[in-house]
Structure 1
Amino acid sequence: MEYEMWSDFPPERDPYIHAEDVENMINSRIRVRRYGPHEWFTLTDLLNDEQECWDPHRRGNDPLTYKGVEDPKPWQVVNHYRYTSRPLKPHSIMSCLAQLWPDTSQGLTTHELRAIVNMTLLRVNHKPFRRCHIHPILVLSFMGDYQGRIIQASYDGKGLILQYSQLWSFKDIKKAPVELFVRYRLSKPVGGVRTLSL
């Protein structure tokens, strides 16, 4: 009953819970123990501690990484990772969950764009990356009806370049592109890390 106070949807029909279920499915594939070089091997071991969760110190005027229940379509950035290997890279990976049903005739949704722009602003203004020429973000976006897509965004100081996949369905676990999303989630950054001369 507590859930019903916060949502107009019963849990099985809530698009945000669908999105969260898909995100949890991806994470469980990454964190499950497997046979490997040592007894407790998981796919996160392949990263060699190059990724860590990123939660910057926030100031009052920083952009939000979520929109709550008062919003008609709540969304949230979760599992935001940055690369920690030296030299520091401005690249990051995040997941975005939204309480909305997908519209396959449209491009990116408003929540996806807001999440990308807000995280880009946080990254651009983060001290180690202020002078970086590019700010790439990889987004795993999930929404209702167990749908998800992969978005590559890059801000170059002049504009935001976006590339995105089709919407993929995770309803049927046998046909769901879980391994594709896992590979992207575990990917390593490529490309130059030029800095601006100020």
Structure 2
Amino acid sequence: MPLFDGFRDLVTDMSNGIATLVRKLDPPDHERIADWGDQHHLYARQDIITGLMTIFDNIYYTPDPYVSSETARDLDISITHLKLVETGSYAPEHFAHRPAFFKPMPLGTLELLSIDRFDARTSELMKSLDEYWDEAENGGKCGGFTQARAVSDMFSCLFSMAERVPVGSDEEFTLQQWSGWVRRWPNRTVQDRKYTCPTGPKDSQNKCPIPWDVRYGDNWVRDDSHPHRTVILEHLVPPYEGLLRSEVLTIIGLMRERLSAQTLMDHKVAPIQIISCMNDYQARILQADFRHGRLTIYKSMLWSFAEQEERLENTSVFLLYFAAQPVGDTLTY
């Protein structure tokens, strides 16, 4: 019995020692909770990306340049009207159509930022734009992407390149600098980019989908605290009121890219704004987010920029949305 008791005491001491060592090596409760939170966060992001890719694959292999209302319904894509307001400020009766993640610049602010036509570079830029549109109105340069590119270049120049002088100041700013967006150099190729490829063909008959017929124009991002992104698209197709396949694929591709950025790992929502330029000198604005397993696309009506009067009236409205402030909760889901 004494030998047995001694052996039992030894085992007990060893067990206590191991338990003490485990307690010392085991992280505190708050670290375990934080680690669980990180894992939960990663799983949530993976679920989001998986949901996006399910929609992407289905749209990618659609043998049509357009996304029908039936296809959108089947994929749980919500299409909502985006009302563009000339003042940049939404009245209470328009709150249902107010952007959720992009707050347009007030018109009053834009009016205080007049273009400096005495700046030599800006003056030459505006002269070139005027000459281009004079030629376009006389029937020149109208093939391929040219008409969409004309509207795209006009937006980019007025937002990113034209110097403006704020009232009461001697300093010059572009509208891009004033609003805080950062311009990225365009890479006009859309297909075959890392985040615009499907997970794999559905079957042997779906290995060669139709071309996108779209190119990137300029695009802008904010600092690392905002996953928002604004991109110009130039389309080869005629103006179309419904959703274009290329618009949906680009939106999802950009969301995947933003959600994969190491500096944006805390964010679960990546709002995207698309300025969609088509032939016949028409354009519209789309804004999109993916929350609760649903892709929501806010789509404006088509606006024309074909005539000088239309450009003078409509361009300022689009610039208000170019200069939009990124808003909304992108951290929680």
Q: Report the TM-score range of the alignment, normalised by the length of the smaller protein.
A: 0.7 to 0.9
Q: List per-residue Cα deviations over 1:72-130 (Å, max 9, x = no partner).
A: 5521223221111x6x11111111111111134xx111111111111112112222224
The residue identity in structure 1 corresponding to 2:154 is M
3-state secondary structure, aligned to 2:239: coil
Query: Structure 1 unaligned runs (5+)?
Result: 1-10, 66-70
3-state secondary structure, aligned to 1:184: helix
| Residue pair 2:156, 2:218 contacting (<8 A) in 1 also | no
| Residue pair 1:80, 1:93 contacting (<8 A) in 2 also | yes
Question: Corresponding residue for 1:178?
Answer: 315
| Residue pair 1:54, 1:82 contacting (<8 A) in 2 also | no
Question: Corresponding residue for 1:79?
Answer: 218
Question: Corresponding residue for 2:299?
Answer: 164
Structure index of larger Rg: 2
The residue identity in structure 1 corresponding to 2:298 is Q
3-state secondary structure, aligned to 1:182: helix
Q: Does 1:99 align with 2:255?
A: no
| Residue pair 1:151, 1:163 contacting (<8 A) in 2 also | yes
* Larger RCO (alpha carbons 8 Å, 6+ apart): 2
3-state secondary structure, aligned to 2:310: coil
Structure 1 length-normalised TM: 0.76
Structure 2 length-normalised TM: 0.47
Among 270, 275, 300, the alignment partner of 1:135 is 270
Structure with higher strand content: 1
Structure with higher helix content: 2
| Residue pair 1:51, 1:83 contacting (<8 A) in 2 also | yes
Structure 1's 64 and 38: CA in aligned 2 closer, same or farther, altered over 3 A? farther
Question: Corresponding residue for 1:47?
Answer: 179
Q: List per-residue Cα deviations over 1:29-68 (Å, max 9, x = no partner).
A: 22222333234333223124x434288xxxx871249xxx
Question: Corresponding residue for 1:28?
Answer: 157
Structure 1's 119 and 54: CA in aligned 2 closer, same or farther, altered over 3 A? farther
Q: When the two structures are aligned, how many residues end up with a matched partner?
A: 174
Superposition CA RMSD, Å: 2.8
Moved over 4 A (4+): none
Distance 1:77 1:21 in 2: 13
